[in-house]
């Protein structure tokens, strides 16, 4: 798709960099989800700063990408009808979440499942382009970000994570920009988007998640997990 290359990301837009990277990763596999990731980044960027020259230039190029995608997928109902698009993005986010949750409950802790939890949380952010999040999705997002941080920090410290929903105490934080292999900005400061502080969560056992213990993601889900693209 990449008809228009984006200029360097202005520092003001650091909070949307992971949504844009997710869009790149999904361009071929899930173009509809990639489109809405960019739309979320566009809307969020407009609220952050639409006046300074570098931000205006970046948003203009991002708008060009969105327009190109609209032309390319103009006959896709998920692009032309928001209610269809919302369901498509939500289903994909839930599939990512279920894959990571099933791996977690089975005690299979690895980089792909951490990335899946984190990406699911980013895609739930994207659902805000369609309106206010449901309480269930708010809880899924909190849980997914906390799990990504908790499991990552356990593995980094040589500890065995505890599978399934557990008490969320402790100041877990996860900066995927710093942790991904090949990251070019390892000294980047954490942001509200790229870092999740678990002490924002209740310290009681987490019971607000509505995922059946026996739920299984589709068989092709692991292959659909976004892979590291040289971050």
Provide the β-strand partners of residue 172. Answer: none
Q: Is residue 208 scored above 90 in pLDDT?
A: no
How many other C-beta atoms can be found within 10 angstroms of the C-beta atom of residue 118? 27
Q: For residue 85, what are the CA distances in angstroms to 32, 62, 118, 151, 195?
A: 7, 19, 21, 31, 27
Q: What is the pLDDT of residues 77-105, one digit of tens each?
A: 999 999 999 999 999 999 999 999 999 99
With bands split at pLDDT 50, 70 and 90, how would you rate the model's confidence at 168?
low
Tell if the pTM clears 0.85, that is, is over it. Answer: no
CATH second-level architecture of 1-80?
Alpha Horseshoe (1.25)
CA distances from 25 to 22, 35, 76, 149, 156 (A): 5, 11, 20, 21, 25
Comma-separated ranges of CATH 1.25.40.270 domains in the chain: 1-80, 82-161
pLDDT in tens, 133-164: 999 999 999 999 999 999 999 999 999 999 98
Q: Categorize the per-residue pLDDT at 188 as very low, low, confident or very high, splitting at 50, 70 and 90.
A: very low
Nearest one of 78, 68, 55 to 7, comparing CA atoms: 55
Determine the Cα–Cα distance for residues 227 and 119; give it in Å rounded to an integer. Answer: 11
In CATH terms, is domain 82-161 a member of 3.30.70.960? Answer: no
Please state, as a whole number, how many other Cβ atoms lie within 10 Å of the Cβ of residue 190: 15
């Amino acid at each position: 798709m990449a008809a228009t290359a984006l200029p360097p990301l202005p520092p003001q837009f650091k909070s949307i960099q992971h949504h844009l990277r997710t869009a790149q990763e999904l361009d071929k596999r899930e173009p509809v989800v990639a489109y809405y990731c960019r739309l979320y980044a566009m809307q969020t960027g407009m609220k952050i700063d639409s006046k300074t020259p570098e931000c205006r230039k970046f948003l203009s190029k991002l708008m060009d990408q969105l327009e190109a995608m609209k032309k390319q997928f103009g006959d896709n109902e998920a692009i032309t009808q928001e209610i269809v698009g919302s369901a498509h993005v939500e289903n994909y986010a839930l599939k990512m979440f279920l894959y990571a949750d099933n791996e977690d409950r089975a005690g299979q802790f690895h980089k792909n499942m951490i990335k899946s939890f984190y990406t699911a949380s980013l895609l739930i952010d994207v659902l805000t382009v369609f309106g206010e999040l449901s309480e269930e999705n708010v809880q899924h997002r909190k849980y997914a970000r906390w799990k990504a941080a908790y499991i990552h920090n356990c593995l980094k410290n040589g500890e065995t994570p505890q599978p399934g929903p557990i008490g969320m105490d402790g100041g877990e934080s996860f900066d995927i920009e710093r942790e991904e292999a090949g990251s070019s900005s390892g000294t980047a400061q954490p942001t509200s988007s790229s870092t999740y502080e678990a002490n924002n969560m209740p310290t009681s056992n987490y019971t607000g998640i509505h995922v059946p213990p026996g739920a299984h993601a589709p068989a092709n889900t692991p292959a659909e997990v976004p892979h590291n693209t040289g971050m």
